[in-house]
């Protein structure tokens, strides 16, 4: 399969963005002035990581890309010594991230890595539950450290305590140091993120692979169903909303909770009621940590948490109050899910003809079930809880930059790279210490304005799904599970790029995420704020969903997403609720408009639009 040469794609600079490269780390560039590196880049296969980055990256947000570039690669290549793969290399064009799994080419080297892998990965698989417990302790300590991290303001005169306690350090120094600490905590958190993830995915993907070898026609969703019904904490935020809905009814404050869609108004009203205060106390208990759940994936600065956008959980609580009062059962149908899981597993197992295969099936299923909670739970700790706190800490840093005239608005900070922020802070702190004006007050506002324009142009550009040379074999487990890179997906990517006029498309396909066929009215929700408009029985069409979207699933009868595989949030939740889902369609939100009648076949992945 032929894809464009990366350097040719990059050479066609969007007019007005010349010099955009300085917004990102220099090692992310495809180069032409280094023949060896240029040759390597041409020979490798680079695919656009649309799963994580539906939009171009802001310079600051590149931090998590760098974090996982390091963490995933080091665990594969230097810690667990996964025999045939090294890490995943990264590049960027116009703010869009391209990634490339790097193989170990020398067969002898692969062989010499095998015993190390068996020992190292074996240790984790063998002691999974115990090591995972340790992981939780480390992770929670890291988050606590983050929460307690102070971003000090620079006072005209330092506090007298600096003198009386003989501290010997200024707030200026603390600001510089704590900014470093903030960044380092973020990178550390991502070190932990991958401690279990590669191995977890490997166990998971090869179980899938094994079952698909036994039953070539088995839909991947049926395999994932065999591991469903295991309690994972990603459901907890939604469970808290249900609890609060029931509590409101129990205390008789349900009408007060429902009287407005504005959280500030509801809160004010509740404060005047004795029972309302009691309910608010329960709410505050739920908020930490559960309302740190992000309204997006948590990867971007603009993904605010429920705590930042209380109207969203309020809307969820209101939906559940109405359901409970109408006599509807709002509990997740766990018993049914588990009964169906056990039936499906037993029936497929019964169809396996060879004793060795049955034994292997049991082994791999057991292993997949062991790793599954981690594969799901790490998301809440890292992408939601940690990130939500982190973005707000960064806003405190930004407020200082605003105060000292480096940027005009707190939200401008994302247009600077993290090392540029460090430099700007030095500028601010030394100028503050000296009693002069920071140089950056003249340079940064102009640069930020220009970068805003560049970002806008980047957003209008469509990144080709793949560039470079497609390999014959992909062994890196992440590439397979997360991005589903296969021959047919490459062909699909090529097709996605070819859809010129979305208003004429009548039929298109995605991954079969959750079985069943449903027809109904579509509701396109681009952000979680839009789920308020959902009417009972509509079909949700969204770019992607995340745990903060959970209340939407209580209203809809099917779900369609642009991005995601059979293990994506939408697919998992729909399977639990027993409603159809088609995920990873690439462009459903472009083709479908609110109000259209659509047919969703979650068994085949087909979407039909009535035009």
Residue 363 CB, nearest approach to other proteins (Å): 4
Of 67, 98, 318, 295, nearest to 193 by C-alpha is 67
Kindly tell me which of 46 and 290 has the beta carbon lying closer to other proteins.
46
The CB density around residue 361, as the number of other CB atoms within 10 Å, is 19
- Classified as helix, coil or strand, 464 is coil
Q: Looking at beta carbons only, is 364 or 563 nearer to other proteins?
A: 364
Who contacts 545 (Cβ-Cβ below 8 Å, separation ≥6)? 552, 559, 561, 564, 568, 569, 570, 573
Is residue 486 within the footprint of other proteins (CB under 8 A)?
yes
Q: Pick from 607, 565, 571, 572: which is nearest to 589 by CA? A: 607
Among positions 215, 263, 426, 577, the unique one binding other proteins when judged by CB under 8 A: 215
377 three-class SS: helix
The reply to whether 266 sits near other proteins by the rule CB under 8 A is no
**Residue 217 binds to other proteins (criterion: CB under 8 A):** yes
Q: Which is nearer to other proteins, 38 or 475 (CB)?
A: 475
Nearer to other proteins, 182 or 474 (CB): 474
Half-sphere exposure of 409 (CA within 13 A, CB side): 8
Residue 354 found at the interface with other proteins (CB under 8 A): yes
- CB of 273 or CB of 344, closer to other proteins: 344
Q: Which of 108, 473, 498, 535 binds other proteins (CB under 8 A)?
A: 473
Determine if 317 is a binding residue for other proteins (CB under 8 A): no
Considering only residues 87 to 146 of the shown chain, the ones binding other proteins according to CB under 8 A are: 110, 114, 117-118, 121-122, 125
CA 128 – CA 204 distance, rounded (Å): 14
Binding residue (CB under 8 A) for other proteins from 364, 571, 591, 609:
364
494 is a site residue for other proteins (CB under 8 A): no
Burial bucket for residue 421 (CB in 10 Å: 0-12, 13-18, 19+): buried
Find the shortest distance in angstroms from Cβ 603 to other proteins.
4
CB 579 within 8 A of CB 598: no
Based on C-alpha coordinates, what's the Rg of the chain?
25
For the segment 143-202, give every residue that binds other proteins (CB under 8 A).
Answer: 202
Tokens of 425: 């802070």
Return the structure tokens found at 604.
């085949």
- Residue indicated by tokens 């903030």: 182
Please state the closest distance from residue 8 (CB atom) to other proteins, in A: 21
Tokens 């005009």 sit on residue: 408
Nearer to other proteins, 125 or 450 (CB): 125
Task: Kindly state the tokens that stand for 272.
Answer: 């005047």
How many Å apart are CA 586 and CA 564, to the nearest integer?
9
Nearer to other proteins, 33 or 353 (CB): 353
Instruction: Determine the size of the site formed for other proteins (CB under 8 A).
Output: 55
Does residue 519 belong to the site contacting other proteins (CB under 8 A)?
A: no
3 state SS for 45-97: EEEECCCCCCCCCCCCCHHHHHHHHHHHHHHHHHHCCCCCEEEEEEEEECCEE
Contact call for residue 477 and other proteins (CB under 8 A): yes
Asked if 209 interacts with other proteins (CB under 8 A), we say yes
Interface residues with other proteins (CB under 8 A) are 1, 82-85, 110, 114, 117-118, 121-122, 125, 202-203, 206, 209-210, 213-219, 222, 344, 347-348, 351, 353-354, 356-357, 359-360, 363-364, 366-367, 470-475, 477, 480, 485-487, 490, 515-516, 603-604
């Amino acid at each position: 399969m032929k894809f464009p040469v990366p350097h040719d794609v990059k050479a066609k600079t969007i007019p007005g963005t010349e010099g955009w490269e300085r917004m990102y780390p220099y090692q992310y560039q495809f180069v032409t002035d280094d023949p060896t590196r240029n040759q390597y880049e041409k020979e490798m296969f680079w695919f656009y990581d649309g799963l994580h980055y539906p939009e171009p990256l802001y310079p600051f947000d590149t931090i998590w890309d760098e974090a996982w570039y390091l963490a995933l690669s080091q665990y594969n290549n230097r810690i667990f010594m996964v025999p045939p793969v090294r890490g995943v290399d990264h590049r960027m064009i116009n703010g869009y991230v391209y990634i490339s799994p790097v193989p170990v080419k020398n067969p002898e080297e692969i062989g010499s890595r095998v015993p190390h892998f068996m020992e190292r990965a074996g240790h984790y698989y063998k002691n999974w539950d115990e090591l995972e417990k340790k992981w939780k302790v480390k992770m929670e300590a890291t988050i606590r450290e983050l929460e307690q991290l102070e971003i000090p303001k620079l006072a005209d005169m330092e506090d007298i305590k600096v003198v009386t306690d003989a501290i010997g350090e200024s707030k200026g120094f603390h600001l510089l140091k704590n900014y470093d600490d903030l960044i380092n905590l973020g990178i550390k958190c991502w070190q932990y993120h991958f401690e279990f993830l590669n191995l977890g995915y490997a166990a998971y993907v090869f179980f899938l692979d094994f079952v698909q070898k036994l039953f070539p026609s088995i839909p991947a969703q049926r395999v994932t169903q065999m591991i469903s019904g295991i309690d994972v904490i990603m459901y907890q935020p939604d469970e808290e909303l249900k609890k609060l809905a029931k509590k409101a009814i129990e205390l008789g404050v349900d009408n007060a909770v429902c009287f407005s869609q504005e959280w500030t108004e509801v809160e004010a009203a509740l404060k005047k009621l004795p029972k309302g205060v009691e309910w608010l106390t329960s709410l505050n208990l739920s908020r930490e940590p559960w309302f740190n759940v992000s309204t997006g994936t948590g990867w971007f600065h603009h993904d605010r948490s429920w705590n930042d956008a209380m109207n969203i959980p309020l809307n969820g609580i209101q939906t559940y109050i109405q359901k409970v009062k109408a006599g509807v059962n709002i509990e997740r149908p766990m018993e049914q899910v588990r009964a169906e899981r056990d039936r499906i597993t037993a029936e497929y197992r019964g169809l396996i003809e060879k004793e060795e295969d049955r034994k292997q099936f049991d082994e791999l299923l057991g292993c997949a079930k062991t790793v599954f909670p981690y594969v799901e739970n790490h998301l809440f700790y890292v992408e939601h809880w940690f990130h939500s706190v982190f973005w707000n800490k960064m806003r405190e840093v930004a407020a200082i930059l605003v105060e000292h005239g480096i940027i005009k608005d707190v939200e401008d900070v994302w247009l600077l790279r993290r090392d540029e922020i460090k430099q700007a802070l030095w500028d601010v702190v030394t100028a503050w210490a000296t009693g002069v004006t920071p140089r950056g007050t003249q340079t940064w506002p102009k640069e930020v304005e220009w970068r805003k324009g560049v970002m806008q142009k980047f957003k209008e550009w469509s990144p080709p799904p793949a560039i470079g040379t497609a390999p014959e074999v992909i062994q890196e487990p992440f590439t397979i599970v997360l991005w589903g890179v296969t021959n047919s997906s490459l062909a699909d990517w090529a097709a996605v790029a070819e859809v010129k006029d979305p208003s004429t498309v009548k039929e298109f396909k995605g991954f079969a995420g959750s079985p069943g066929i449903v027809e109904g009215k579509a509701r396109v929700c681009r952000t979680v704020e839009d789920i308020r408009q959902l009417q009972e029985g509509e079909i949700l069409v969204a770019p992607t969903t995340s745990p903060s979207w959970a209340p939407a699933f209580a209203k809809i009868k099917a779900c369609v997403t642009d991005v995601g595989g059979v293990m994506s949030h939408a697919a998992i939740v729909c399977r639990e609720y027993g409603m159809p889902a088609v995920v990873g369609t690439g462009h459903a939100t472009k083709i479908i408009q609110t109000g259209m009648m659509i047919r969703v076949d979650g068994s085949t992945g087909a979407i039909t639009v009535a035009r």
